[in-house]
Amino acid sequence: MATKNKPGKVNQTWLHDHINDPYVKQAQKDGYRARAAYKLKEIDEVHKLFDHVQVVVDLGCAPGAWCQYLSRKMELARAVGDGAPRVIGIDLLPMEPVPGVRFIQGDFQEESLLEQLEAALAGRPLDAVVSDMAPNLSGHSATDGARVEALVELAVDFAASHLKPQGVMVAKVFHGPGYDALVQLFRATFVRSKPFKPKASRPRSAEVFLIGMGVRGA
């Protein structure tokens, strides 16, 4: 009987924490679609990543909180013209429109989506790539670690090929199998790199964000 009730107890605990989460309340007040906006906001405020960016790609963008933060930061709601700043968001899931954001729905691992992204960029190099992507998790740590590693490797490869020499990247990863390899990948790809766990990331969560600044060999 205790085993059967356990999922319910877990859900009730999550629901209680969610309702009383100060970041959830602040997101509702500020008009953000998810508390995740404050993770990117703190990363930006601590590391000064997006003060002068003009073109950003947001991988795994739904429901759009990071796009919202970037759009507000870059004042995209008032930007017009081909030379205006832009954010391009990509996700498998649909996303309601965000002012100033171009959304492309599809699988980042598919060549056809990369072609759409190239067309949207129209030859403009990127100032930043941010990735909140995460695969569907199986619960098997080794399998999930391999899936996360493969997805982040693909994102880093894209970033290294499209970022300006001084460009930056932020990617969500998880402590566990594959984590050390991704830290090494960031060190090999970027001039400076560091892990960072924002206060808005729940303490019990295994997520951590890897930050890369300046592309090696660019």
Is residue 91 annotated as involved in ligand binding?
A: yes
The string over 83-100, giving b where at least 16 C-beta atoms fall within 10 Å of a residue's C-beta and e elsewhere, is eebbbbbbbeeebeebeb
One DSSP character per residue, 114-172 reads: HHHHHHHHTTPPEEEEEE---PPP-S-HHHHHHHHHHHHHHHHHHHHHHEEEEEEEEEE
Catalytic residue among 9, 39, 172, 197: 172
DSSP 3-state assignment of 3? Answer: helix
Is residue 64 annotated as involved in ligand binding?
A: yes
Is 172 assigned a catalytic role? yes
Is residue 82 annotated as involved in ligand binding?
A: no
Is residue 107 annotated as involved in ligand binding?
A: yes
**Positive or negative torsion for Cα 99, 101, 103, 108:** negative
Q: Comparing C-alpha atoms, which of 6, 79, 40 is closest to residue 169?
A: 40
Is residue 66 annotated as involved in ligand binding?
A: yes
- Which segments are annotated as binding site? 64, 66, 91, 107, 132
Q: From the annotation, which residues make up the binding site for S-adenosyl-L-methionine?
A: 64, 66, 91, 107, 132
Residues annotated as catalytic (active site), given as ranges? 172
